[in-house]
Structure 1
Amino acid sequence: MNKQTATKNLDEIITKVEGARLKISEHHIVKIIGISKYSTAEDINTLYEAGQRAFGENKVQDLKEKMQELEELPIEWHFVGTLQKNKINNLIDLNPTLIQSLDSLPLAIELNQKLESKNKKLSALLQINSAYEDTKSGVMPEVAVEIYKQIIELCPNIILKGVMSIGAHVSDEKVIKESFKTTKKIYDEVVPLGAKYCSMGMSGDFELAIASGSNMIRVGSTLFKD
């Protein structure tokens, strides 16, 4: 991907994000995370030069390789994939800005134990399965607030910064919007507990997500297209 394409892709997304966020409020800020899992370090570098600063990977090994290749750049790295317990130590050592996929209380407890033993802290989002889909990770909406509170209480080395979810995997916009609304309602309940981010929306549905209150989107294919 050349600089011209990268700039064009980023500009198109920013324009759409601006349009969607201004419908809510001029004070509603939306953070764009570039999901680079199918892309090269070179492409990330090109997008960085075009102005994109935050990138997300969904495999610990890929995150490590790209962080090493691009260590000169002050990139804000996010981990967005399913975290396997045997990869926790590796991820802690990489020290990402945000783990977006903390998907259960047992995982949080295990992560906290390993953080404590290394005398470190990490920021994370609680992943919610707001679409009730078997193929998706995350806590069920009915127990999400309770689990959020338990993580705060039991896991002092995890700094919870909000919630994340993936929109319903259907073509019906009403159903997708409903899943986003479910997450936003939970987010509103945990704002008094320090939540800052409601991460919802990907390449195909981020405008709907912003309309539903998302303030962080995760875009891959639209940002990295040639």
Structure 2
Amino acid sequence: MDKLIATRNLDNLITKVEAARLRVSEHHIVKIVGISKYSTSEDIRTLYEVGQRAFGENKVQDLKEKSLALEELPIEWHFVGTLQKNKINNLIDLNPTLIHSLDSLELAIELNKKLESRNKKLSALLQINSAYEDTKSGVLPEVAIETYREILEKCPYIILKGVMSIGAHVEDENTIKKSFQTTKRIFDELVPLGARYCSMGMSSDFELAIECGSNLIRVGSTLFKN
């Protein structure tokens, strides 16, 4: 990807994010994480050079390889994939800024145990399956607040920063909207407990997600297309 394309992609994305953000409120700030799982380290470097700072990977091994290849750049790395228990130690070593995919109390307890043994803390989001889809990970909305409180109580080495969900995988915009609104309602209840991020929205639905209150979007193809 050359710089001209990277600049165009980022500018177009920012224009759309700005328009959606202002439909909510001029005070509504949205963070953009570039999902680089199908892209090369060089593509990430090019986007970094034109102003994108946060990138997310969904495999621990890929995060390791790309963060090593680009270690001279102060990139803010996010882990957005399903975290397998046997990969926890490897992920801790990489020290990501934020883990988006804490999808159960059981996983949180395991992660906390490994963090405690190293006397290290990591920030994470609780993943909510607000679309009620069998193919998606995450806690169900009915137990999300209770699970969040339990993680706060039982896992002192995890710094919970909010929630994440993936919009319903359907064509019907109302169904997608409902799934986002469900996550946002839960997020609002968790703000007094320190929740800062409501991470919703990907390349196909980020504008709708922002209008429903998302303040962190995860976009891949929109940023990396040639």
Aligned-partner Cα distance in 2 for 1:153–1:57: 28
Distance 1:176 1:196 in 2: 22
1:9 has 2:9 as partner: yes
Q: Please list every run of 5 or more consecutive structure 2 residues that lacks an aligned counterpart in the other structure.
A: none
Alignment of 1:77-156 (within 5 A): 77-156=77-156
1:45 aligns with 45
The offset of 1:110, in angstroms, is 0.2
The answer to whether structure 1 residue 203 and structure 2 residue 203 are counterparts is: yes
Letter paired with 1:49: E
* 1:76-130 deviation digits (Å, cap 9, x = unpaired): 0000000000000000000000000000000000000000001100000000000
1:198 counterpart SS class: strand
Mapped to 1, the partners of 2:140 and 2:23 lie a distance apart of 30
Please state how far the C-alpha of 1:155 moved relative to its aligned partner: 0.1
Write the distance in 2 (CA, Å) between the matches of 1:124 and 1:203: 22
- Tell me what 2:76 maps to: 76
| Whole-Å separation in 2 of the counterparts to 1:141 and 1:202 | 20
What SS does the aligned partner of 1:223 have?
A: helix
Give me the whole-angstrom Cα distance separating, in 1, the residues matched to 2:107 and 2:121. 15
4+ runs of 1 displaced by more than 2 Å?
Answer: none
Question: What's the counterpart of residue 35 of structure 1?
Answer: 35
Q: Deviations over 1:163-203 (max 9, x none)?
A: 00000000000000000000000000100000000000000
- Structure 2 residue identity aligned to 1:75: I
Identity level (%) = 81
The two structures have a TM-score, normalised by structure 2, of 1.00
RMSD: 0.3
Partners in 1 of 2:28 and 2:104 — Cα distance? 29
Letter in 1 for 2:124: A
Query: Alpha-carbon deviation of 1:21?
Result: 0.3
CA distance in 2, matches of 1:220, 1:6: 12
TM-score normalised by structure 1 residue count: 1.00
Aligned-pair CA distance for 1:29: 0.2
- 1:58 is matched with which residue? 58
Cα distance between partner residues in 2 of 1:200 and 1:43? 24
| Distance in 2 (alpha carbons) for counterparts of 1:189 and 1:102 | 18
Structure 1: runs of 5+ lacking an equivalent:
none
Residue 4 of structure 1 aligns to which amino acid in structure 2?
A: L
Q: Distance in 2 between matches of 1:11 and 1:173?
A: 25
Report how many aligned residue pairs link the two structures: 226
Q: Distance in 1 between matches of 2:131 and 2:23?
A: 25
SS of residue in 2 equivalent to 1:170: coil
